[in-house]
């Protein structure tokens, strides 16, 4: 009986070790000399400093080559899909749904032209995911263009600030006010 238990135990250990090894891109054993703790990161690691945007869902949401959805922090573009948010935005703004969708399509086209099919880097703030399990990020093109800021600067987004993700709120506010005053993008239609 002891041999059977030992055999099951060893087989389980080998199975788990093989599983974790297969899941790991590279096995990096880290040692923190301050705490005396070893850590072994498991799972696939993703390089968010150089990743492809494969699709733009709408003016403020992207899909990356690894399948992750990214919600651009600090900005909000008009909706293009039927949703409860579209209805709320219509009631709040007193704009009809078709007008909001047309504006949303313009934001979508701007964002699509700006980032789809391009490699980007992501910068995270305090919270990494929203309640819809989308990654929350500031996105940069390889030439250094700050995507979130560019969309606001060109007049294709309003501001949406959710503390604690407020790192660039002052910059976005300034760009938003300038876009509205200069009637850029969507503000030229008002």
From the candidates 55, 69, 134, 184, which is the catalytic residue? 134
Q: How are beta strands 37-39 and 30-32 bridged, if at all?
A: antiparallel
Cβ pair 75, 168 in contact under 8 A: no
From the number of C-beta atoms within 10 Å of its C-beta (0-12, 13-18, 19+), residue 125 rates as middle
Catalytic residue flag (residue 88): no
Report the C-alpha gap between 120 and 168 in whole angstroms: 18
**Distance from C-alpha of 118 to C-alpha of 52, rounded to nearest angstrom:** 6
- Told to judge if 69 belongs to the known catalytic residues of this protein, a careful annotator would answer no
* Residue 134 is among the residues annotated as catalytic for this protein: yes
H/E element, 28: none
- Positions marked catalytic: 71, 79, 134
């Amino acid at each position: 009986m002891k041999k059977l238990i030992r055999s099951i135990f060893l087989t389980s250990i080998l199975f788990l070790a093989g599983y974790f090894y297969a899941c790991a891109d590279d096995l990096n054993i880290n040692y923190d000399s301050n705490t005396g703790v070893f850590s072994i990161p498991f799972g696939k690691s993703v390089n968010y400093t150089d990743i492809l945007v494969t699709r733009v869902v709408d003016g403020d949401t992207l899909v990356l080559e690894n399948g992750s959805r990214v919600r651009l922090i600090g900005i909000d573009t008009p909706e293009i899909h039927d949703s409860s948010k579209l209805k709320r935005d219509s009631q709040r703004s007193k704009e009809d749904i078709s007008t909001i969708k047309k504006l949303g399509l313009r934001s979508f086209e701007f964002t699509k032209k700006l980032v789809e099919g391009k490699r980007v880097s992501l910068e995270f703030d305090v919270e990494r995911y929203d309640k819809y399990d989308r990654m929350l990020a500031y996105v940069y093109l390889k030439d250094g263009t700050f995507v979130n800021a560019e969309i606001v600067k060109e007049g294709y987004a309003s501001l949406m600030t959710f503390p604690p993700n407020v790192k660039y709120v002052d910059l976005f506010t300034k760009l938003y006010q300038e876009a509205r005053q200069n009637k850029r993008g969507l503000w030229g239609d008002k």
